[in-house]
Structure 1
């Protein structure tokens, strides 16, 4: 089993396909990022200058958390799950937390197939089509995020379930709790409102109200650290 956290990165074009995901303390994660590889031979940079640009598709990881990143200028940002036919991804567990989704992002923040996705205390400052999407009945728990919709009327909805009809996704567990919506943004829920309790809410990352997200994410991105000195 591979346990990985991506933390405090700034990236311009991140497109990833994951199998599954979990949580590492930031200090442990940063040390383990050194000399690891992403995708097909795309190296993580040395500690102190963690930038991730133009990685290739093909990254396969079992447990994963994406935290404290600044993301911008990308069409398809994150994809979790190999395909709509690969049901083994039911075991996937993903946490996306404390990230800043900035200018130039279009969709998939993330897009999910199967699995359990916890989206917590992120700052969604821009999207062109949608922010969070999915097919193949993933469970998506959105807690304490700030969603600021674009000016385009057709793109106010945070969520996207492709071209499926409501009868096909009405039982999927997509829940919004403590989120803050701006500029007409809205989240379309489905399934059980108490889905987070069904999946062990006591073991999930705790969240703060969405109004606090700007303060919570102000240190997202690369840290200004030097070897031998406190960050």
Structure 2
């Protein structure tokens, strides 16, 4: 038989135990309303640091799910040394983890770091660079290159003030030293790469561009990034004569463009881009441009035109023979401050045709501010919720 006093104690214990759970559930629901589906997938878990690999299940768009970046054979590697040797990387440095170690590698960082790369960092296939929980800057010299590699995640890194590099020797993505030609000052450059996810990074003030997807690269998702303070932001497609880029497919979603971005958000050649639920805080020349008959679907983006200068979102390089072949279509976009979008007559742009693992719901444009409010690398400590 249980006494009234015992019942009272039990009631207090149940209240004490259940209140935090109820409180967290309520907090999670509140946060969920302010997050896009990628962030909801992992960020609502207060113990995400223990389950970092959950991130690999959260990607959407053409990259699909990053299943090949996890598994029992995954190597956990922690960067403890901010120094860099481009030819003979030391264990504990970023280059050793990203270029020397082969197989599935999940890279984290011991503490806040400012890394000045001596030569471009060539990232091996099946590598994840995960900067969550610390503030990592790759800046003031060479930056990142994904060269003939696949299944790569770059997450929550600050990449800025990247500079052009002269030809030289460097550790390649296969763990062997190779000769690398001259490299423009891009923050991240993809060359013949596939299945690449670039999420929650902050990129700005680089000598050339912030992100290039070139030379047959495809199945790329660019999400939750903050692009700012840059002339040429994002190039999709190598050059007008590189027809392999006809097969290029890129998803650009939940990104924040601006302030002080001039052009190429993105500029696309030949291939197909689905640009959805992004926010554009002005531009000088144009926001979205293209040449050589690309297909681009702009869906539920918020375009806020600058006070002065061009109000037109789009730009087309007609060229000599391709003036009537490109296809730009706008669906559900919002235009502020007089912004306008010159669409293709008839809207013949094909659907993204995502498979089950790639598909996501494009949200009404009125929610874009909320969907993009966390764009860029996270501001968080090792103990706080990002």
Q: What TM bracket, shorter-length normalisation?
A: 0.7 to 0.9
Q: Name the SS of the counterpart of 1:59 in structure 2.
A: strand
Q: Sort the Cα spacing of 1:220 and 1:84 in 2 relative to 1 into closer, same or farther, 3 A.
A: same
Give the alignment partner of residue 54 of structure 1, picking from 141, 161, 169.
Answer: 161
Q: Which of the residues 66, 76, 96 maps onto 2:232?
A: 76
Query: Match for 2:290 among 134, 137, 159?
Result: 134
Shift in Å at residue 104 of structure 1?
Answer: 1.2
The answer (yes or no) to whether the contact 1:100–1:220 under 8 Å persists in 2 is yes
Q: Secondary structure at the match of 2:158?
A: coil
Answer yes or no: is the 8 Å Cα contact 1:172–1:191 preserved in 2: no
Structure 1 residues 19-47: Cα deviation after superposition (integer angstroms, max 9, x where no partner): xx63447xx79x99x85489932786844
SS in 2 for 1:77: strand
Q: Is the 8 A contact 2:265 2:288 kept in 1?
A: yes
**Whole-Å Cα distance in 2 between the matches of residues 163 and 91 of structure 1?**
21
User: 1:119 aligns to what?
Assistant: 275
Could you say which structure has the greater relative contact order, defined with CA pairs below 8 angstroms and 6 or more residues apart?
1
CA shift for structure 1 position 207: 0.9
| Root mean square deviation, CA, Å | 3.3
SS in 2 for 1:124: strand
Contact 1:95/1:119 (8 A) holds in 2: yes
CA distance in 2 between partners of 1:134 and 1:64 (Å)? 18
Tell me which moved more, 141-150 or 40-49: 40-49
Cα separation, 2, equivalents of 1:111 and 1:140: 10
Q: CA deviation digits over 1:177-206, x for unaligned, max 9? A: 010000111111115425233x42676542
Unaligned stretches of 5+ in structure 1?
Answer: 1-6, 9-20
2:353 to 179, 194, 200: 200
Q: Which of the pair has more CA radius of gyration?
A: 2
1:45–1:52 CA contact under 8 A, matched in 2: no
Deviation of 1:229 after TM superposition, in Å, equals 6.9
Which residue, out of 237, 243, 246, partners 1:87?
A: 243
Instruction: Write the deviation string for residues 109-135 of structure 1: whole angstroms up to 9, x where unpaired.
Output: 111111110100000012111000011
Aligned counterpart, 1:96:
252
Match of 1:211 among 359, 362, 366: 366
Residue 169 of structure 1 aligns to a residue in which SS?
Answer: coil
Taking the TM superposition and a 5 Å limit, the aligned residue runs for 1:174-189 are: 174-189=328-343
Q: TM-score, normalised by structure 2?
A: 0.47
TM-score normalized with structure 1 length: 0.75
> SS of the counterpart of 1:152?
coil
Tell me if the contact between 2:292 and 2:325 (Cα under 8 Å) persists in the aligned partners: no
Q: Which runs of 5+ in 2 are unaligned?
A: 1-37, 40-61, 71-75, 78-93, 100-116, 124-128, 136-156, 163-184, 195-218
- 1:103 Cα shift? 1.1
Distance 2:229 2:384 in 1: 32
1:52, distance to aligned residue in structure 2 (A): 1.4
